[in-house]
């Protein structure tokens, strides 16, 4: 049974009402996405509010909108945001991406998303968890298309996805005008295959994307690589 809360260095994530608990994927995306020059950010499928809070910690000026389709997750995210130091810069809304309309902020500088990624797989009886984990509620095609509409010409889109689905998503993104700018492939240990890809898209074609890879645990169980520690040390208590 997952803990009811997860303590980070500068904020706490309570997660008893959220279908998806704190996981490595969200932390990786929240730490990796290039948001230094961003003023307005959209976090799609915020869940507990983890990524939105990481964005707020990393960028002291950004205004962040966080949306989700699950009522329990939104309540949890609101609670976590209100308990943080950045409640005045994060707005949480119950809304699917397909129906979302930006308000005063206008178009976004950056859209970030840890999307549902199971396609045609077994679905649990927990409807909230199923919506959070399956692409029925938000397909890759919809995700890249709506993100393109919601960002200005210099906007960016950052995602974490299963490595095996990365080429499919990159193709879908290019079809609507997103071009791969950088990519980080993730392996859990040196002897295992790639399991995740962090990808960033921009709206200008590039001659060659910046490609890199990272191993999470390279010296044994809970023995984290220098690269993983450098990426996440501002957040995890033990880093």
Q: Which CATH number fits domain 37-232: 3.40.50.450, 2.40.160.60, 3.40.50.2000, 3.40.50.150?
A: 3.40.50.150
pLDDT at 131: 44
Higher pLDDT: 127 or 188? It is 188
pLDDT at 136: 56
Residue 217 has pLDDT above 80, yes or no: yes
Report the chain's terminal Cα–Cα distance, integer Å: 24
pLDDT category, 179, cuts 50, 70, 90? very high
Q: For residue range 15-46, list pLDDT tens digits in order.
A: 988 888 899 999 999 999 999 999 999 999 99
Tell me the pLDDT of the chain averaged across its residues: 91
Contact of 192 with 221, CB cutoff 8 Å: no
Q: What distance in Å separates the CA atoms of residue 34 and residue 36, rounded to the nearest whole number?
A: 6
List the chain domain ranges: 37-232
Residue owning tokens 């995740």: 196
pLDDT at 45: 95
pLDDT category, 75, cuts 50, 70, 90? very high
Q: For residue range 114-168, list pLDDT tens digits in order.
A: 997 634 333 344 444 444 443 457 899 999 999 999 999 999 999 999 999 999 9
Contact of 52 with 92, CB cutoff 8 Å: yes
* pTM exceeds cut of 0.75: yes
Q: For residue range 81-124, list pLDDT tens digits in order.
A: 999 999 999 999 999 999 999 877 789 999 999 997 634 333 34
Q: What distance in Å separates the CA atoms of residue 92 and residue 75, rounded to the nearest whole number?
A: 9
pLDDT at 163: 97
């Amino acid at each position: 049974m997952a803990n009811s809360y997860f303590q980070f260095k500068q904020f706490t994530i309570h997660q008893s009402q959220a279908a998806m608990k704190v996981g490595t994927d969200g932390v990786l995306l929240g730490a990796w996405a290039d948001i230094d020059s961003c003023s307005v950010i959209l976090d799609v499928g915020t869940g507990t509010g983890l990524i939105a809070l990481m964005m707020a910690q990393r960028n002291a000026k950004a205004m962040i909108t966080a949306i989700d389709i699950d009522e329990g997750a939104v309540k949890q995210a609101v609670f976590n945001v209100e308990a943080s130091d950045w409640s005045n810069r994060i707005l949480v809304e119950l809304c699917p991406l397909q129906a979302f309309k930006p308000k005063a902020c206008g178009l976004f500088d950056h859209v970030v998303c840890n999307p549902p990624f199971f396609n045609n797989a077994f679905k649990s009886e927990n409807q909230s968890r199923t919506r959070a984990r399956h692409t029925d509620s938000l397909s890759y095609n919809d995700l890249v298309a709506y993100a393109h509409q919601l960002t200005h010409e210099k906007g960016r889109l950052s995602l974490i996805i299963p490595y095996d689905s990365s080429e499919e998503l990159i193709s879908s993104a290019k079809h609507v005008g997103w071009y791969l700018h950088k990519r980080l492939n993730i392996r859990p240990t040196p002897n295992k295959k790639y399991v995740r890809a962090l990808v960033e898209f921009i709206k200008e074609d590039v001659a060659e994307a910046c490609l890199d890879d990272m191993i999470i645990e390279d010296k044994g169980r809970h023995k984290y690589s220098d690269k993983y520690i450098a990426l996440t040390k501002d957040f995890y208590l033990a880093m």
